[in-house]
């Protein structure tokens, strides 16, 4: 049984469709604009960054894209990380294990791959909150491309606000993130 800290309420779903930054379809252009560290959320984003020559400092994958299994070629290409861990995180939730693993991955000097048993879709929000100023969080915008979020104060405040409006223990979530 997972230790769920936050759950996505139905009323917040539409707001999450608004990207936290510009959308890119060209990986090279995204990488040219990205800051450090680079955090990737999603199998296809991670795949495109690796294919573009950059292993993310932290990547979260769940072997799914748009609710279907990713192609074996994509899964096979996602590798080369210093550390790989599996964490449990059911759909539309953020668990204690995932929040702690995101914090640990951001703080690590090694590249880290988190293989999420469940769903990693909401992980961009805590990643933006915990990442240092100037870092980049990249996640997929279905049927549009990759969203590049620069972790500045405005992006961090928006991510915090979204997390605060989720159901559950917001205070504990921020504690797990070291905030």
Q: What is the pLDDT of residues 13-50, one digit of tens each?
A: 989 889 999 999 999 999 999 999 999 999 999 999 99
Any binding-site annotation on 83? no
Is 5 inside a domain boundary?
Answer: no
Is 16 inside a domain boundary?
Answer: no
Is 134 inside a domain boundary?
Answer: yes
Q: How many domains is the chain built from?
A: 1
Is 40 inside a domain boundary?
Answer: yes
d(CA 15, CA 30): 24
H helices, E strands: number in the chain = 8, 12
Is 11 inside a domain boundary?
Answer: no
pTM, two decimal places: 0.95
Any binding-site annotation on 71? no
Any binding-site annotation on 57? no
d(CA 82, CA 113): 8
Q: Is the pLDDT of residue 1 over 60?
A: no
Any binding-site annotation on 26? no
Quick: pLDDT tens for 60-107.
998 876 666 777 788 888 999 999 999 999 999 999 999 999 999 999
Is 147 inside a domain boundary?
Answer: yes
Any binding-site annotation on 120? yes
Quick: pLDDT tens for 110-135.
999 999 999 999 999 999 999 999 99
41 contacts: CB under 8 Å, gap ≥ 6:
59, 60, 120, 121, 123, 124, 127, 137, 138, 139, 140
Q: Which of 158, 161, 154, 99 is nearest to 130 (CA)?
A: 99
Is 153 inside a domain boundary?
Answer: yes
Is 8 inside a domain boundary?
Answer: no
Residue-number span of the structural domain to which 81 is assigned: 21-176
């Amino acid at each position: 049984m997972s230790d769920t800290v936050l759950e996505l309420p139905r009323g917040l779903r539409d707001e999450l469709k608004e990207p936290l930054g510009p959308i890119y379809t060209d990986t090279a252009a995204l990488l040219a604009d990205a800051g450090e560290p680079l955090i990737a959320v999603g199998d296809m984003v991670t795949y495109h960054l690796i294919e573009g020559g950059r292993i993310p400092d932290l990547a979260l994958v769940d072997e799914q894209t748009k609710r279907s299994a990713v192609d074996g070629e994509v899964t096979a290409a996602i590798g080369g990380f210093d550390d790989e861990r599996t964490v449990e995180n059911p759909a539309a939730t953020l668990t204690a294990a995932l929040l702690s693993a995101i914090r640990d991955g951001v703080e690590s000097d090694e590249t880290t791959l988190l293989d999420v048993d469940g769903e990693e879709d909401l992980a961009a929000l805590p990643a933006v909150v915990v990442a240092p100023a100037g870092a980049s969080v990249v996640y997929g915008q279905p049927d549009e491309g990759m969203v590049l979020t620069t972790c500045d104060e405005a992006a961090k405040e928006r991510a915090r606000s979204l997390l605060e409006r989720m159901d559950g223990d917001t205070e504990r979530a921020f504690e797990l993130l070291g905030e």
